Every structure is written in C-alpha cells, then in structure tokens.
Amino acid sequence: MKLWPVWLACAGSAVAEPSGQHHGRQIYQKLCVECHGANGEGNDEEFVDPLYGEKSVEALARRIHRTMPEDEEHLCVDDDAAAVAAYIHQAFYSPQARAGLNPPRRDLVRLTAPQFKQSVADVVGRFMGGHGRLLPEKRGLSFKASGLHEDSAGKNKFTNVKRHQFERSGEDLTFNVREMIGEEPITTRSDITVNLSGSILAEETGSYEFVVRSANGFRLRVNQDHSQLAVLDRWVASGKDIREAGVRVELVGGRPYALHFETVVSPKDQHATTEVLWKTPHGALERIPKRFLYSVWSPPVAVVTTSFPADDASYGYERGSGISKDWLLAVNRGAIEAADFVEANLNRLAKTKAGAKDRDRKVREFLGRFVEAALRRPLDSDEQKSFLEGPINRADGVIPALRPVVVRALTSPEFLYPELPQGEGGESRETAARLALVLWDSVPDEALAKAAAKRQLDSPQAIERQARRMLDDPRARLKVRGFFHHWLEMDRAEDVSKDHERFPGFDEQLMADLRISLELFLDEIVWSESSDFRQLLLADYLMLNPRLAKVYGEQPTQGGFQKVAFDSRKRTGVITHPYLLATLAYHDNTSPIHRGVFLTRNIVGQQLKPPPEATAFKDADFDPTMTMREKVSELTRDKSCMACHSTINPLGFSLEHYDAIGRWRAKDGGRAIDASSDFLPETGDRIRLRGARDVAEFAASSPIAHRAFVRQMFHHLVKHGMASYGRDADEHLYRRFRDSDFNIRELCVAIAKVAALGSGDSSSAQHPADATKSLHANTQ
Amino acid sequence: MKYYDRRNFLRDLGVSAALAPFVGGLPSLLGKDSGAAPAKQRLIVMFSPNGTIPEEFWPEISEDSLSFKRILEPLEDFRDRTLALRGIANKIRGDGDGHMRGMSCLLTGTELLPGNIQGGGNTPAGWAGGISIDQELKNRLQKNEVTRTRFGSIEFGVAVPNRADPWTRMCYAGADKPLAPISDPEQMLAKLYGDAKDKETLLGIVDGVKDDIGRVARKLSSEDREMLDQHLTLVREMEVELSQAGQKELIHPVPEIDPAVELVNDNTPELSRMQIDLLVSAMANDMTRIGTLQFMRSVGQARMHWLDVQEGHHGLSHEPDGNKDSREKLIRINRWFAGELAYLVRRLHDTPEPGADGSMLDHTLVIWLNELGKGNSHTLNDIPFLMIGGAPGIRMGRSLDFAQTPKHEGKAKQGNKRNFVAHNRLWLTVAEAMGQPLDSFGNADLCAGGALDLG
C-alpha cells in the first residue's frame, strides 16, 4: 500500500497527496455520490454507467471541470475538479484501483503442453541418477581411440588414446582420426576403434535431426544407454563411399542428453573427416557446435513425443486455461509414453536389478515416491490404498501394476492442475510447486521438494535463495529464452523468404545463422553478471560467423561465431539485429509499419488499438520513384490513421537505414535515407529521433518501456494476469528492476518470488541493495 | 550371450472378455460360405544357429515314410506332416565368412555386398545384396487385396542380441536393407495389440481418476470447479468410447503374457513360448501370413542352462566329432529347438482355421532351417531344411535327398561326391506353394533347373 502514491507520481499526477484526496472525497460525497454511487458503481435508474476507465488524472480533472455536475458545472471547477479527479482515480476509477478493490481472481489452470512434457521428464527424471545435475563449464565430448601398435620388440600391443575432443579438432563435431591421435603410437596396422561420448544440450523442445557423414561403419546413440539398439546404426557399411545417414529424435528442451558415437576406422581412412551434424527445431543442418557438447554422461530422459493441441494464447501469453477432448487424449497418450519409459528403465529407476530378491519391494517404494513426485505432495494412508495397493492387488503383483500406477498418477487432476490448493500445512509445497512452474515450467526437483517438506520455504529470503539456484539451471534458461522469443516475435520468422534477385544468398541457412546470432547475443547479455536490460537495446555489436560476416560485416571473419563491433550509430541492440529487421520487412523491401508497430508495442511499451479499417500496402500503387518513407506517409496520411501512425511511423522510419534483410544502407532507390522524425511519447515531451540509436536510448531510459518489459516477463513466466497478485505487484517489480540497474535475472528472481508468495505485497519485498549483494555473493 | 536389461510387462492384457469374445464359433465371421476367397496360405520360417548333428538329425531317406532320430523326436506326433530335405546347399560365394553368408544369404539367395565387416575368414563384407524370400512374398501378397494383411510379414526373434550385423539378420527388405527381428514379447505385444493394451490400462484407472477429480473439486470455488466438471465429463466420454471401441472381431484372443519374465538368457524357454503364442495369435487374427522366428543368431553363444549346458552354443559347435560330451550337448540343444518347433506346430494344429475347414496347420507351411549344415566344418552343404504343415504341391511324410549319388558310382564315394542343389531352387518351390510362382530368385545362375519338385 505504501507504494501507491508513487504509482500516481509516475502516471503524471502532482496532486496525489492525502490532504488533497481528503478534500476530493468530501466534494465527491457532496456533489457526485448520488448519481455515481459510493464507489463509482453508477446508478441504473439514472442510467449512469460505472465510473471506471483509463484516463489520466489530468484528463479526468479537465472533464470534471467542463461537464460535472451535470447542469451545475460551476460547482466543481479548477482545484476542486483536480481534487475530485485525484480522489476517484485512486479510489475506484483506475484499473489499479479496481484491482485493489476487487482483485481479479486467479483462474485454475492446467499444465500447458510444454509444462506437461517438462513435468513428465522431471517426475521420471527425479529417480534417474545424474538427472538435473549442473553441467561443467568445459565443453566438448570425450574422445577415445584404440588400436594396435608395434613395440620395439616388434610385437603388437593394444593402445588406448583418450582426449578431450576439442583439444585437437575444430569448433564443431568433426574429426579426423589421425589428427586426434597425433603422435601417439597407434600404427596403421589395424583398424582403429573410436568412441566419442558425453552429453548434448537441447535448448529447445522439438524434433532434432542428427546426420552422420563418414566413410566407415558407425553407431550413434542419442538419449539412449548402451544396452539399447542405437538410434542410428550403420555399423555395417556396404560399399566404399562416404555415406550419409540421418535420424530424427524428439527432445524436451532445457536439458542435456546422452550422446555416444562409435566408429571403426580402417588405417587407410584415418585421414578422412567424420562429421556429426544436427538440425535443431529452428536451425539449418550444421556440424554440432562445441558449445552444446559436454564430456559428462547424462541418464536417459523420458521424452513425451505426443503432440498436444495448442494452448490458449489469446491473453498474449500461452496459458493452460481450457480443456478439450483432444487435450485429454494427448494427456493419456503422454502418460502411456511415460509408462513405456518407466517399464524400459525400471531397474535403474527403482535402484534394483533383474532377479534381485527385494525387487518387488524396491519397485513398490519407487512407485510410491513416483506418485508423490507427480502429485507434488506425500500420500496419506487412504491414498496409498487408492494409488498403490488397489492397483497392485487388482493386477496381482507390483510389476503388473506399474503401468496403471504411472498412468493414473500422470492423468490425475493434481498432476495436471499444478496450482490446486494442498490444504492445511501444504503452503510450503504450494510455494515450491509455483516456483518450479514459474522458473522451469515443471515440477519441484528433489532439493526444492525437500526444502518444502522441511518448511524451509516460509521466508521470502529462502524463496529467493531457491529461485537463484533454479535460475542457473538450463530449464530456467529455456524458459527465459522463450520469453525473448515471444518478446521479439521470433515465431514470425518461420517462413521468411526474400527476393532472390535483390538479395542473392539470403536463404534458409543464412536465416538459421541469424537466429543463432540473435540467441547468442541475448545469452551474452542476459546471462552476464550485469544482465542489463538496457544493453539489449544499446549494445553496438553483432555475433557473426564467417557466413554472416560476408553479408553484414565490414570485414571477413574466421572460425565460429564471434562478437563483431560496429559504429554505434549503425547497430544498436536487438532493434537493429538483422534477424528482426529481415522478419519485419517485405520480401523485396522494408516495412516501416511492421517495424514501427513492433517498436511501439514491444520496445517502447505503448498500447495500440487495432486499425479502424484493414489497409494493405501495395507497392504497385505508388509512383516507383518514391521512397518507402514517402509511400508509407502517403498511405497513412488520413487523420483516422494518424491517431496511431503518428507514433508508428516515426519509430518505423528510424529503421529505414536497414534494408529488407537488415543490411545497413545509405540510400533508398537512389535517394538518401531520411531516418529522422519527431516523436511524441505517451508521457513526456516531443523528441527528435535521428535513427535507431535514438529510439534505443529513449526506450532504455523510459519507465514506460521498463514497465512494459516487466509486465511481459511476468506474464510469460507466471502465466497469470499481474493484477491478480495485488495492486502493488506492478510497482514493486518495477522498482526492483530499476533499483537493480535493470538486471534481468534479478527481475526473474523477483517475479518468481511474487508468484511463489501469491502476491506482490510490499511487506515481502526485500531491500533491493540486499538483493544485489546476495546476487554478487552467489555469482562469485 | 548378453541381453539388454529386461523390461517387465504386464499380465493384465487379453483378460478382458470384451477383447476376446470369439474364440469359438468363428467361421461365420469371415464369410466361409461366400466362396469367393481362396484358402489362406501362410509361411513360417524358423531359424536356429550353428549347424546340426547330421547323424542325429536326418531321417532315413524314404519316399513314402519317415522315422525320426533323436533330434526330431519331439515332432513325433507330426511325423506324417513333416518333410526332410537333404542335399540342399547354400551355394552363394563371394565376400564374407561362412557364418555371414550362411545367415545373410540364407533367405536372400544372393551375394553379400562388399563392405567393412571382417568375419572369421575370407574378405570383409556388408549386408546382403538382395531381398529375402519372405519379404519378396510379402510384397506380392500385399499387392493383392485378397491376400493383403495389416502387417504383411512379422519378424519375431528369440534371444537375438541387440546388435545389427550380417550374423544377426536374415530378413532383408532389399539390398542393403536388413530387417531387425523383435525379441521382446512385450514390444511385439504392443505392436500387435498395443491399442488394446493401452485401452485396458486406461479403463483400469478411470474410476480412480474420476474419484480424484471429485475429491479435488470439492475443495474448489464454484468457478474453478467448472473446469474440473468439464474434465470429469471428458473422462466419462472417453470411458464410454474406449469400452465401445475395439469390440470388433478379434478371431483369436490376445495371448496372456507373464509379466514377471525378464529378457535374460535364462528365461529364453519362456520367452520362446510367448513369442510363438504371439506369432500364432497374429496369424489367427490374420494380421500377417508370413512370419519369421529367429532363435539367437549365427555364431550365437547362448548358454542353455535350462538344458544343463554351461558352454556357449557356438563354442560347442566347433568341437570335433570325437568329443562325445559336446556332441551330446549339441544334440540336446538341437532337440530343444525341435521341441520349440513342435510347440509351434501343435499350436497351429490345435487352432481351427478361421473361415475354413481343418486346422491352421493345414494352411501353414513351416520351414525350420539353419545357417550351416554342421558346426565344426562350417559347411553350407546339407543345411537341415525341414518342412512341416500344409501347402499346395508339397507332399509331407517323407525324407528326400536331392544330392543322392547315382547308384552306379558306388557307395564308397558318397559324402564326397554329392551333387547338392542350390537352395535358391527351394525358394522357388516355396514361392509356388504360396501361389506366387517365380522364374528366378536371388542369384539367377543358381536357379537353373527351377523349383524343386516336392509333390
């Protein structure tokens, strides 16, 4: 509550003092209450509508001054009108006030499709040793070669050579056996057996294609252990040519998967290159880059491959707000897939082995803990009967009851509706469940569940500690990455294509490279220590590989992706990233309107109404000698258009220096680019924009932009309306963000805390300085 | 021999009365009296590895009767349904060692492709260079609406290790396209009856889920309860649909599978019976008319503890004839395979032919074969080919020798100067029996003389 006046100040009011409000209330009671009601609810008899709206205090004051009370307008003017406006605005008129009076309820939601898949992987994964452990910094698979060599006495000896794969090879998963072996004495007398093993990190959920090019026989295992038939087995090579073989594997993002490649190389092929390539869900086929590879092993992950109906995205973020028959069928199929996995990996999950005397007991114990992990709580004795003993008796044994128990747990409402109240004493577990959802889209891991069981999640500090720990996990990165995909509307890029004549060489491969470039740029900033939101807008570099450098760079580069600095007028953060610029453009030309709308809504943080009528831009309608800016100005000159386009156009024109694939250009059709305009923000003075950097600097320092960013991040992570977390949530989070120097990770922690506590009540807010301190302590 | 860790499978399959209502009184369902459909003809190929003990396998040659020695004794009840085919050789040469060619050229009748797999001798090789006879026949049957089935062919394995090489594959969809047999009865059950199995699971838990929803909903506000009410309605709808679905005509019940049997070497006898039950069931339900049943693999080292044999099978098969102990064990091993064959044949014999007279055995040609004639010589001659069952143009109850030396050459030379016929010709006979006559199969040169006359 104590933050409330500050919100008014930010909204541009200077009259939000308690005494003024008192004065305003008195006048309202005297002159207004009869028609408008005590809380502005209106009056059916007098046909007075409720007094709710979104006008500013000043606008309300002007209107009261002019029109109220009806027929006796002179009774309330000037300062009195301002006082009444200030009072009603904070008491019931504004959305924030209404949220406080009658907070919107938080709907019951189900797991979204990604949450279902993540949760299944983690409920099962909790019982797989090695699941969810932190990955080492060092990248690259481990490499082992073995073969014969002749010792000094002329006898054959067996030799092993072990290496970290990238000690000798390049930046990606490609190698030449002789180079890897180097001077080690494996001679050319015998076949050389090569093993590459470790883990590969899947950053996204979806279908991954793995392709191997090799002259030799090979096996590739992904998300499998050695006892399983390799997903790609070409151990037997008929013929002598370099062969290529591929396979698709479904992976749930945000976690590492076991990767094992083995091949036998004949001496004559030891100089030949073997390549292992992949195509990620949004990528192009490429050699697997080093940054995804780790030498540590990972246990198999239970991947649900069933496709689900799309989640409701009508709120502007995906939400589990409705159910359907298709959804229920998908849930059933997903649960059955999980049961298949549990059956196949039972001994490892239950920590037993074939033929063990106590196998049934171990499996029963496992099943009990499995159900508890799925339900996110312990079972009481009745539930033990219902979930375990009943099925075991009906199936006449523990092993035969496996499928029904697993499927029941994963189709139970408590698994599917993760925020159901857990009853008395369950508050800690509810907190844990919400934290896991917000940061991981999943269920609590062992550590979080333990903390909840010991009631160690009752203080905001404890929650914050857990949130920080969880934020270091790849699942949290996946979730935050998902936010950026949404914020930057990266889905639009799915089918971008460009005019081949104008932009030769702009193909799927280049677009895939650009996507990686943008992801790397985001990772670089978000996961750096300062994690500074403003750098997303202001950084003057791009991540380029040689292919991209040829198109976008000023000079060629070598190797993999690297930072390439630009003149700070030419590149400024995400808004001049070619991936976005190419997406927000026509196939043969720029589109200042698309770019302007994007900047207005997502970057500057202003609302736009839908256009009054649909108008299509048709290039052929214009004189071909006109610049794009002139065409757009012409098209939107109508007054009804300019209500919004007076905002959209200046922002869009500021990016006219970037062509339809995002290259810097000085001219449009032979005429010099004019990227300058005057821009009138929602609040504040008219400013002169001379180009992209001015837009970036404006947004980087604009509270409206900051608040919009906070709100969008909140919705993405929490998947509930912010208003349902109390009228303070908005303000509290904004201040946390601002006071942490716009630290994005801090924002995520703060959001997780608000969501976990169920409210943004400032009493739970920690002093920001403490937060920053503990962050530093944590990262050192 | 090492298997991957066993998954356990469930028992509560096929117990539902709804799934298996039609064990008896079948013919009416398949329109026996419509008269249009010709009788079904099926083919089952059963493989066991590492050669046989010829003296205890081959019956005396006779055109009109048959008497069994020790290895074939388990088949005694089906003596008059059995045909022993001596004098046939796998004459494929080229790349690859004897076991590789024995295995991968057995059903393909064609050479191996050059490749990278070095066997115990000769040059390295890759996969077979052509389609196998079972797949050739499958393709032909699947082309015709009358003979088309859901799967066309099903490849069963028993204790086949989880590796893919020319010693483990006998079925090929084409050159360089080996087909993996399924050795896990649970996996096979899922392939054949997966939907039914999942349905059983879902129906089994639906009451619990309904209770859960009711219990949870009681604690909620009326707005939130709406979503759970809707959920409950959907669950009920699903329940109704599931219990109505799939009541269509399954001629033969889903086999009951013991879930406690793990996929380990010592459980091979139980696994074998499960696979055979599934094979017979799949055929009874007309999911396929071609089946292969592969025991282990060429050079397989199964340790058949259940026969009181501690040594690996392939190792034993290399012992010289004079080693009486090994010989006895190998007889035991081959006799065990004959017993499994007898079980298969009995199951076919005991199952009435759906939609026709007689038993399934009357309409099924079962062939038992091996990749070698004899283990310790690695010969591809006198491969123990044995037929049981019924097929047009094949007269059972005999023991033939196609390599018999003409009498005037004298007894002394027998064994050295036998004129073996190429096994490609046997596949021409089988194709004919399956109603799909071929001029040539595999290596065309080896088809000279055409189909062997088994009438």
Confidence of residue A189 (pLDDT cuts 50, 70, 90): low
Residue with the bigger pLDDT between A18 and A728: it is A728
**Record: contact A238-B216, CB cut-off 8 A:** no
Helices (H) and strands (E) in chain B, counts: 9, 11
**Record: contact A324-B264, CB cut-off 8 A:** no
- What confidence tens digit (pLDDT) does each residue in B38-92 have? 789 999 999 999 999 999 999 999 888 899 999 999 999 999 999 999 999 999 9
Question: How high is the pLDDT of residue B162?
Answer: 79
Kindly tell me if the per-residue pLDDT of A465 is higher than 70. yes
Mean pLDDT, residues A625-644: 87
Kindly tell me if the per-residue pLDDT of A443 is higher than 70. yes
* Per-residue buried b or exposed e for A38-67, using 16+ beta carbons within 10 Å of the residue's own CB: ebbebeeeeebeebbeeebbbebbeebbee
**Nearest-Cα residue of chain B relative to residue A329:** B238
Query: What's the rounded Cα separation, in Å, for the pair A376 and A393?
Result: 25
Question: How high is the pLDDT of residue A192?
Answer: 83
Kindly tell me if the per-residue pLDDT of B31 is higher than 50. no
Question: How high is the pLDDT of residue B28?
Answer: 34
Question: How high is the pLDDT of residue A53?
Answer: 72
| β-strands A206-214, A142-150 pairing | unpaired
A481: contact with B, CB 8 A cutoff: no
Residue with the bigger pLDDT between A721 and B446: it is B446
**Record: contact B126-A323, CB cut-off 8 A:** no
Q: Which of A578, A592, A594, A558 is nearest to A503 (CA)?
A: A578
Query: What's the rounded Cα separation, in Å, for the pair B431 and B41?
Result: 11
Please tell me the pTM assigned to this model.
0.79
Burial of B194 (0-12, 13-18, 19+ CB in 10 A): middle
Q: How far is CA A547 from CA A70, A511, A550, in A?
A: 70, 11, 5
A703: contact with B, CB 8 A cutoff: no
Q: What percent of chain A has pLDDT over 70?
A: 92
Query: What's the rounded Cα separation, in Å, for the pair A386 and A397?
Result: 15
Mean pLDDT, residues A343-365: 93
Q: Which long-range contacts (CB under 8 A, 24 or more apart) does A238-242 make?
A: A238/B113, A238/B114, A238/B115, A238/B125, A238/B126, A238/B127, A238/B129, A238/B175, A238/B176, A239/B113, A239/B114, A239/B115, A239/B126, A240/A215, A240/B114, A241/A215, A242/A213, A242/A214, A242/A215, A242/A272
Kindly tell me if the per-residue pLDDT of B333 is higher than 60. yes
**Record: contact A236-B165, CB cut-off 8 A:** yes
Sign of dihedral through CA atoms A259, A264, A267, A271? negative
Q: How many CB atoms within 10 Å of residue B351?
A: 20
Closest residue to B230, CB basis, from A237, A323, A403: A323
Query: What's the rounded Cα separation, in Å, for the pair B455 and B443?
Result: 24
Confidence of residue B249 (pLDDT cuts 50, 70, 90): low
Closest residue to A386, CB basis, from B4, B129, B211: B211
With the CA atoms of A725, A731, A734 and A735 taken in that order, what torsion angle do they form, in degrees rounded to the nearest 10?
-120
Question: How high is the pLDDT of residue A698?
Answer: 95
Kindly tell me if the per-residue pLDDT of B352 is higher than 60. yes
Kindly tell me if the per-residue pLDDT of B218 is higher than 60. yes
Name the token pair of B26. Answer: 């079948």
| β-strands A192-202, A142-150 pairing | antiparallel
Mean pLDDT, residues A311-317: 81
Asked if the A142-294 domain carries CATH number 2.60.120.1560, the reply is: yes
Domain residue spans of chain B: 47-181+286-447
**Three-class SS state of B86:** strand
Closest residue to B201, CB basis, from A325, A336, A414: A336
Confidence of residue A188 (pLDDT cuts 50, 70, 90): low
Q: How many CB atoms within 10 Å of residue B30?
A: 16
Question: How high is the pLDDT of residue A19?
Answer: 57
**Where do we find the tokens 């044949």?**
B345
Give me chain A's average pLDDT, please: 86
For residue A395, the chain B residues in CB contact (below 8 A) are: 10-12
* Alpha-carbon gap: B354 to the closest alpha carbon of chain A (Å): 32
Residue with the bigger pLDDT between A265 and B21: it is A265
Kindly tell me if the per-residue pLDDT of B304 is higher than 80. yes
Least confident piece of the model among A707-721, B5-19, B69-83, B278-292: B5-19
For residue B198, the chain A residues in CB contact (below 8 A) are: 332, 336
Closest residue to A414, CB basis, from B165, B201, B212: B212
Query: What's the rounded Cα separation, in Å, for the pair B40 and B52?
Result: 32
Mean pLDDT, residues A195-219: 92
For residue A374, the chain B residues in CB contact (below 8 A) are: none
Q: Which fold has domain B47-181+286-447?
A: Alkaline Phosphatase, subunit A (3.40.720)
Q: What percent of chain B has pLDDT over 90?
A: 66
**Three-class SS state of B57:** helix
Q: Which value does ipTM take for this structure?
A: 0.81
**Record: contact B5-A417, CB cut-off 8 A:** no
Give yes or no for a contact between B149 and B286, defined as CB atoms under 8 angstroms apart.
Answer: yes
The full DSSP string for B153-191 is EEEEEES--S--STTT---EEETTEE-PPB--HHHHHHH
The residues facing A207 across adjacent strands are A250
Kindly tell me if the per-residue pLDDT of A777 is higher than 80. no
A145: contact with B, CB 8 A cutoff: no
Mean pLDDT, residues A640-645: 84
Residue A58 dihedral angles phi and psi, to the nearest 5°: -60, -45
* Per-residue buried b or exposed e for B124-162, using 16+ beta carbons within 10 Å of the residue's own CB: bbbbbbbbbbbbbbbebbbeeeebebebbbbbbbbbbbb
Question: How high is the pLDDT of residue A767?
Answer: 37
**Three-class SS state of A476:** helix
Confidence of residue B16 (pLDDT cuts 50, 70, 90): very low
Residue with the bigger pLDDT between A5 and A37: it is A37
Domain residue spans of chain A: 4-101, 113-130+310-420, 142-294, 489-700
Give yes or no for a contact between B187 and B3, defined as CB atoms under 8 angstroms apart.
Answer: no
Mean pLDDT, residues A473-485: 95
Mutate to test the interface with B, among A238, A262, A415 (most CBs of B within 10 A): A238
Kindly tell me if the per-residue pLDDT of B234 is higher than 80. yes
Q: What superfamily would CATH give domain A4-101? A: Cytochrome c-like domain (1.10.760.10)
* Alpha-carbon gap: A679 to the closest alpha carbon of chain B (Å): 46
**Record: contact A238-B262, CB cut-off 8 A:** no
Question: How high is the pLDDT of residue A14?
Answer: 37
Question: How high is the pLDDT of residue A611?
Answer: 74
Least confident piece of the model among A331-345, A419-433, A765-779: A765-779
Give yes or no for a contact between A401 and B263, defined as CB atoms under 8 angstroms apart.
Answer: no
Contacts of B77 (CB under 8 A, 6+ apart): B342, B346
Confidence of residue A370 (pLDDT cuts 50, 70, 90): very high
Query: What's the rounded Cα separation, in Å, for the pair A565 and A579?
Result: 17
**Three-class SS state of A437:** helix
- What confidence tens digit (pLDDT) does each residue in A515-526 have? 999 999 999 999
Question: How high is the pLDDT of residue A9?
Answer: 31
Kindly tell me if the per-residue pLDDT of B117 is higher than 60. yes
Q: What percent of chain B has pLDDT over 70?
A: 87
Question: How high is the pLDDT of residue B422?
Answer: 97
Closest residue to A328, CB basis, from B116, B204, B235: B235
Burial of B63 (0-12, 13-18, 19+ CB in 10 A): exposed
Kindly tell me if the per-residue pLDDT of A366 is higher than 90. yes
The full DSSP string for A176-219 is EHHHHHTTSS--TTS-EEEEEEEEEEE-S-EEEEEEEEESSEEE
